[in-house]
């Protein structure tokens, strides 16, 4: 029963639709009806503005972190479930949230939160890499996919040094998810019609 509860908790944490709730509660706006129609941080920036977009980003990151750290709660201490499994379930929750009709975001921020909870040096590396890529390309989608590749390279080196394959497995799965969720963006990038940010 405890195993089922911790898995459910991870999913429900990931399912919190930060962008939807922030938009509706404070701006009377359903961001699914504007911009890309996505519930993620990028569309929150686009529709609601910089400050609410930043709040949504932080909340989405912390969802992944919170799920990954669930085993630290005494009630769950003896479940022996790998933290990255819980983080992965939170990512699924973010992409298919029960609280938003199973229409969620693209999982980049929440995936980052999982790494913050499990391998914070990688998280910091990806933040810096993302900002550099965004400065160069002006495209959030392309920058997100670039840091996925950076994460894979880091994870391979991590395996060689530590022998821990769990991080590499998760990164590979998340990379597949991220590229799949960005398939429409990839098409627009090829066509030269992908929106670009102006604030960096």
Band the pLDDT of 187: cuts 50, 70, 90.
very high
Tell me: pLDDT of 64 over 80.
Answer: yes
Q: Is residue 199 part of a domain?
A: no
Q: Report yes or no on 72 lying in a domain.
A: yes
Q: Is residue 81 part of a domain?
A: yes
Q: For position 111, what pLDDT does the model report?
A: 93
Find the mean pLDDT for residues 87-94.
Answer: 95
State the pLDDT confidence band at 198, using cuts at 50, 70 and 90. Answer: confident
Summarize the confidence of residues 51-55 as an average pLDDT: 93
| Count of structural domains, the chain | 1
Contacts of residue 148, defined as CB under 8 A and 6 or more positions apart, other chains included, come to 171, 174, 175, 178, 179
- Is residue 167 assigned to a domain? yes
Does residue 127 lie within any of the structural domains? Answer: yes
151-180 pLDDT, tens digit each: 999 999 999 999 889 999 999 998 998 899
17 part of a folded domain: yes
Residue in 19, 72, 66, 25 with CA at minimum distance from that of residue 46: 19
User: Which pLDDT value is given to residue 185?
Assistant: 92
Domain that residue 91 falls in: 2-191
Q: What is the largest CA-CA distance in the chain?
A: 52
Inform me whether the pLDDT recorded for 79 exceeds 90: no
Predicted local confidence at residue 105, as pLDDT: 86
Assigned domain for 200 exists: no
The pLDDT, as a whole number, for residue 117 is: 96
Q: How far apart are CA 167 and CA 156, in angstroms?
A: 9
Confidence of residue 46 (pLDDT cuts 50, 70, 90): confident
92 within some domain: yes
- Tell me the C-alpha to C-alpha distance, in Å, between residue 107 and each of 2, 140, 158, 199: 26, 13, 23, 22
């Amino acid at each position: 029963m405890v195993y089922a509860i911790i898995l459910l908790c991870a999913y429900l944490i990931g399912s919190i639709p930060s962008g939807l709730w922030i938009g509706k509660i404070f701006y009377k706006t359903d961001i699914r009806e504007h911009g890309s129609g996505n519930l993620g941080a990028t569309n929150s920036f686009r529709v609601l503005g910089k400050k609410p977009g930043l709040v949504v980003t932080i909340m989405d990151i912390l969802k992944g972190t919170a799920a990954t750290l669930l085993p630290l709660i005494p009630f769950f201490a003896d479940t022996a479930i790998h933290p990255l499994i819980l983080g992965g379930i939170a990512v699924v929750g973010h992409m298919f949230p029960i609280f938003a009709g199973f229409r969620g975001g693209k999982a980049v921020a929440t995936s980052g939160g999982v790494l913050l909870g499990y391998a914070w040096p990688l998280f910091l590396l990806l933040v810096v890499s993302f900002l550099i890529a965004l400065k160069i390309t002006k495209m959030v989608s392309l920058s997100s996919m670039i840091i996925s590749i950076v994460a894979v390279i880091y994870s391979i080196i991590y395996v060689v040094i530590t022998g821990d394959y769990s991080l590499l497995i998760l990164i590979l799965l998340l990379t597949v998810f991220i590229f799949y969720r960005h398939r429409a963006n990839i098409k627009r990038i090829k066509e030269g019609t992908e929106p670009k940010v102006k604030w960096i």
